[in-house]
Amino acid sequence: MKSLYWITALAIAWLLSACGGGSSTPLASPNVQTSKLAYGSPVAIYVGVSQLNQGITFNATLCPGLYQVQSPSPLYLAYTCTPTGTGTMVFTATDSGGKVLLTQNFTIPEPHVTLVTSMGTVVLELNPNAAPTTVNNFLKYVDSGFYANMIFHRVIAGFVIQSGGFTPGLNSVSPVYPAINLETPNGLSNLTGTLAMARTTDPNSATSQFYINVADNTNLDYVDSNNPGYAVFGKVLTGLDVVNSIAKVSTHTINGYSDVPVSDVIITSASRTQ
């Protein structure tokens, strides 16, 4: 929350009424607008003002650390914060006595990542509310351009397609960020079309490699601490037909790696599109 020197037209009307003067009819609330809302990206919030006063506190749910920045206009104040969840962001203004003067809702959408592959385009929708650490890790790799020119190096019909560790020619690429903690159980299951992280036998070893389920693989879900499963963190929004086509390509064993496509299936680009 951020305490500011501000009073809205609505607050002016309330104060005049409380003092026994002025109209008892509330005036129109101020205009509140935001820049484009996106999970994990700083957002600007602009609030129209009529005059300044002490004791007003602002808060934005799902967007902690709200603080004031320089406004490009004297007609409104400007603030910024970074959304840490998706869904309804509630922006409120509260006076020093705890009275809510203004409430306005905004929607923070789920992040989308578009994979352009040599066999078509796949759009992934991520779920940071269920798996924030996993989503943040994946987005770091996406934003850094890490997945460009990666291949689907493990393809098993009726099971999964996997990428994030090899370039054409089955050349291994080392991860650039530390391994993350396993986020299971998180309410998500390894069902057809879901996106999850690959890992070693160490539950907390996932880095850059991910897979897409092409069947209901509930055997990969959390069972107990001895069988912690694999963390699902999103789903295919569009392009499941492309995923299914990749799953049907011919594979072979090469350099000790099985289920490798005979012809490379390449991710030409991976970018955040929402």
Per-residue HEC secondary structure of 204-226 comes to CCECCCEEEECCCCHHHCCCECC
Residue 13 sits in a domain whose CATH number is: 2.60.40.10
Same-domain status, 95 and 189: no
For residues 116 and 231, membership in a common domain is answered with yes
Do 57 and 136 lie in a common domain?
no
Q: How many CB atoms lie within 10 A of CB 194?
A: 21
> Do residue 60 and residue 177 come from a single domain?
no
pTM of the predicted protein model: 0.86
Q: Check whether residue 241 and residue 198 sit in a common domain.
A: yes
- Structural domains in the chain (count): 2
- What domain range is 256 assigned to? 112-272
Domain final position from 76, 108, 140: 108
What is residue 97's predicted lDDT score, i.e. its pLDDT? 85
Residue at a domain's end among 81, 108, 135:
108
Do both 70 and 204 map to the same domain? no
- In this structure, are 100 and 127 located in the same domain? no
What is the per-residue pLDDT across 211-220, written as a single tens digit (0 to 9) for each?
A: 999 999 999 9
Do 244 and 167 share a domain, yes or no? yes
Identity of the amino acid at 214: V
Q: Are residues 45 and 146 in the same domain?
A: no
Closest by alpha carbon to 210, among 143, 144, 129, 134? 134
Say yes or no: 90 and 174 in one domain.
Answer: no
Distance CA 236, CA 239 (A): 7
Q: What is the pLDDT of residue 107?
A: 97
Last residue of a domain, one of 79, 108, 137: 108
Q: Are 85 and 108 in contact (CB under 8 A)?
A: yes
pLDDT at 73: 86
Does one domain contain both 211 and 129?
A: yes
Confidence (pLDDT) at 76: 86
H or E segment and range at residue 14: helix 9-18
Residue 202 and residue 179: Cα distance in Å, rounded? Answer: 10
Residues of the chain short of pLDDT 50, as ranges, are 1-28
Residue 50 has what pLDDT?
61
Shared domain check, 41 and 99: yes
Q: What is the CATH number of the domain that holds 120?
A: 2.40.100.10
